[in-house]
Chain A
Amino acid sequence: MAVTNIVLAGLGGQGVVKASDLLSTTAFSSGLQVKKSEVHGMSQRGGSVTTDVRIGKQVLSPMVPMGEADFLMVFESTQVDLNLGWLRPGGVLITPDLIPEGELKNRKSLNVALLGAASMVMDFSEQEWVAAIHQCFPPKLHAVNEHAFALGRKLGAGLSRPEVIEGV
């Protein structure tokens, strides 16, 4: 009953929730069970935002337990240390440092670029991701997000998969 846990963290307005929608849509469309959870309301006024995505054949709780994330994706460098506790030993940390300033046409698509990087060490095909981009964004934003995603895939080529650790 293996479940892949992903925690996405950043600040309100950075598209953290959007990125989790894109990831969830990709996984769900591939036929897997997905649960995605975050907190709305006051926390979205520029404060810290985290969202949990859990993927597997069967997913129960919608919340990733502390210290059990296989992937921690952080969209804002000040939020990295704060959220490290989510990551399990051997889990993959993806930070905005992976996407250098100026590489993106629009820094607002950092969320999709980081997902592009993460996609290199996840089990979904590029076609599945692109289909999800088309599903989650209006047509006028397809090109910019596909570009960001492709850039992320290039820059994420060196990432390693989460280590398999006995009993984790």
Chain B
Amino acid sequence: MASTERLLLSGNEAVALASLHAGVRLGTGYPGTPSTEILEAFSLIGGPAQWSPNEKVALEVALGVSFAGGRTLVTMKHVGVNVAADPLFTAAYIDLTGGLVLISADDPGMASSQNEQDNRHYARAAIVPMLEPADSQEAYDFTLAAFELSERWRVPVILRMTTRICHAKTEVIPGEPRPSTLEPHFQRDIPGRVMIPAYARPAHHKVRAKMEEIARWNENSGLNRIYPGDKSLGIIASGISVMHAREAAPDATLLALGVTWPLPMRMITDFVNSVDRCIVIEEGDHLLYEALTVAGLKVEGKPEMYRFSELNVTRVRRIIAGDVSPEAPRPRGKPPELCQGCSHREVFEALSRLDCIVSGDIGCYTLGVLPPFEAMDTCVCMGAAIGVGLGLRHVLPEAEARRVVSVIGDSTFVHSGLTGIAEMVYNPPPTGHVVLIVDNSTTAMTGRQEHPGTGRSLNHEPTNKMDFVAVCKAMGVKNVEVVDPQKDEAKFEEILKDMMARDELSVLIAERPCILAVPLIRKLEKAEAEKRCAAGGCAAAPVE
């Protein structure tokens, strides 16, 4: 790659390119806006990438890659880090081998998420360094730096991005590839990798010591940058806020923090002391402001109203001016809706007609909550449909308990529905329960990614296919049926009604491919059939 080449890349594409240049041996993750395109782009440019059933598994696979001496990238949206938090917190105690970079793609403003959590908290809580790029060039540069940081101190590193970093396209001038010098091989390290209390106690001290070293390194890491200006106003910012602040206050002196944990406290202190007034511009929680205030620095934060939603140039101008007057409302626009021809429509029409109490989940089908259906009563997190539905069944009066149906998508079912089925079989409510898997053969909402139930891997090549019917039966569910809710609409409703009337455990799979995914699915099926024919397997392997 020539060093003068200018590319217009999204932050996600920049991370993918940097991962290729870093020699990543395996990229893992679970789709989630705004992170999804990273692994897809990585795969398209030739990087080895795969979807895991969920973020926890993705991080665990990545840990194995690191232990084997390979560099590894793990991608997820902010709420995905909650799922991966269990391995993450202990991974920090472990001496990693190959560099491990975890992308946390946050969604301030909740363009496509169920909450607005600020994952900067995770760096502090899990004792993990965090880098925050301000544009695609930094996404590229910081990804490479993060791998080197991870390998040098043998710690996982979080690269925190936000919607406007992930999806904004900006210029990138890539550099030369900088792969690791490590070659994968197994090196036994029992006290370093087996976190029993006896080894974890010293490991906790060790990771705290590593963070102190990294903090010292960060004073001159080159990843934090001062934009000189008028000393009457100093601004400290990170991530996209750097760009908003530079535009909102072009004359101010600005400290752009690239490594936001551990903080370069000496650099920050010198900066604060060099300006008359210092204000912290940060999106989300008041984390940086609080950390600097606790350190005794005289800085201003932002009014509470700016904790909510994204920042932008206008809001940063208001923060600097101390303006807390009500903000002009953003244009509301037309809300999203289920596509015309989507078979979720028939499903929610039936649920509405049967007056079901619907314990819902995360995916396109969450749109069943909006008019004209209004057929969803709860939605919390990935997989919650089943547990929440069971809780409702356990405690509601019988007549109401019978109306409870858990609705979960196919990708979500694989992600975290299986443990819900185990719970259902283990602790069945007196009225039984009905789980409705709306299986459209893809991870639709995030842009049609494959998952273990589609029988195709990230790059759409055939692989083993998880059989939902066999899984549910094997786990102990008595009634399992599969119906196309569009082709056999009446039959679908009849079976659902019948299942609700029984005191038994039932899983109904509403199976019909996403209309947006059909063209690709048909193309792939045709190509696979032709491949089988070419291999002489026509008779043995009929086309489905």
Contact = CB atoms under 8 A, between A and B. Distances in A.
Interface of A: 1, 11-12, 21, 24-25, 28, 33-48, 50, 59-63, 65-66, 78-79, 82-83, 85
5 contacts: A41-B446, A48-B335, A60-B244, A63-B164, A63-B312
Contacts of B111: 39-43
Given A11-B334, A66-B314, A43 B328 contact: no
B75 interface: no
A63 B446 CA distance: 22
B164 A47 contact: no
Given A46-B339, A61-B243, A62-B243, A40 B313 contact: no
A99 B337 CA distance: 27
Of B111, B164, B244, B331, most buried by chain A (CB within 10 Å of CB) is: B331
Contacts of B331: 48, 82-83, 85
B341 to A, nearest CB: 12
Nearest to B36: A40
B478 interface: no
Interface string B329-356: 0111111111100000000000000000
Given A39-B112, A41-B446, A33 B171 contact: yes
A34 B164 contact: no
A5 B447 CA distance: 28
Given A33-B171, A65-B313, A42 B445 contact: yes
Given A41-B34, A47-B337, 11 more contacts: A21-B169, A28-B6, A34-B169, A38-B167, A40-B33, A40-B112, A46-B337, A60-B243, A62-B135, A82-B331, A85-B331
Given A41-B33, A41-B112, A41-B446, A62 B336 contact: no
A43 B167 CA distance: 14
Interface of B: 6, 8, 33-34, 111-112, 135, 163-164, 167-171, 240, 243-244, 246-247, 250, 312-314, 328, 330-339, 364, 367, 445-447
A89 to B, nearest CB: 16
| Dominant SS among interface residues on chain A | mixed
Contacts of B6: 28
Of A11, A28, A40, A79, most buried by chain B (CB within 10 Å of CB) is: A40
A48 B240 CA distance: 24
B164 A37 contact: yes
B170 A42 contact: no
Contact of A45 (B163, B244, B337): B337
A39 B163 contact: yes
Contacts, number: 112
Contact of A40 (B167, B338, B367): B167
Contacts of B247: 60-61
A35 B313 contact: no
B34 A24 contact: no
B164 A62 contact: yes
A41 B312 CA distance: 20
A99 to B, nearest CB: 21
Of A38, A39, A66, most buried by chain B (CB within 10 Å of CB) is: A39
| Dominant SS among interface residues on chain B | loop
Of B246, B314, B336, most buried by chain A (CB within 10 Å of CB) is: B336
Given A60-B243, A65-B314, A82 B167 contact: no
B339 A45 contact: yes
A40 B447 contact: yes
A42 B167 contact: no
Nearest to A84: B331
A39 B250 CA distance: 26
B134 to A, nearest CB: 9
B312 A61 contact: yes
Contacts of A83: 331
Of B34, B247, B367, most buried by chain A (CB within 10 Å of CB) is: B247
A34 B170 contact: yes
B171 A34 contact: yes
A34 B132 CA distance: 21
Nearest to B7: A28
A37 B34 contact: no
Contacts of B164: 37, 62-63
A33 to B, nearest CB: 6
A66 B328 contact: yes
Contacts of A34: 8, 169-171
Contacts of A43: 111-112, 336
A81 to B, nearest CB: 9
Contacts of A66: 314, 328, 330
A38 B10 CA distance: 11
A44 B111 CA distance: 10
A25 B9 CA distance: 11
Contacts of B332: 82
Contacts of A1: 250
A1 B167 CA distance: 24
A50 B332 CA distance: 11
Contact of B170 (A46, A62, A78): A62
A65 B367 CA distance: 30
A91 B164 CA distance: 25
A1 B250 CA distance: 10
Given A61-B313, A85-B331, A35 B246 contact: no
Contacts of B240: 61-62
A82 B135 CA distance: 29
A44 B170 contact: no
B169 A36 contact: yes
Nearest to B329: A85
A44 B163 CA distance: 15
B348 to A, nearest CB: 14
Given A42-B336, A82-B333, A24 B169 contact: yes
Contacts of A12: 336
Of A28, A59, A60, most buried by chain B (CB within 10 Å of CB) is: A60
Nearest to A13: B339
A46 B336 contact: yes
Contacts of A21: 169
Contacts of A79: 333-334
Nearest to A3: B247
Nearest to B12: A40
Nearest to B335: A47
Contacts of B168: 35-37, 62
Contacts of A65: 312-314
A22 B330 CA distance: 26
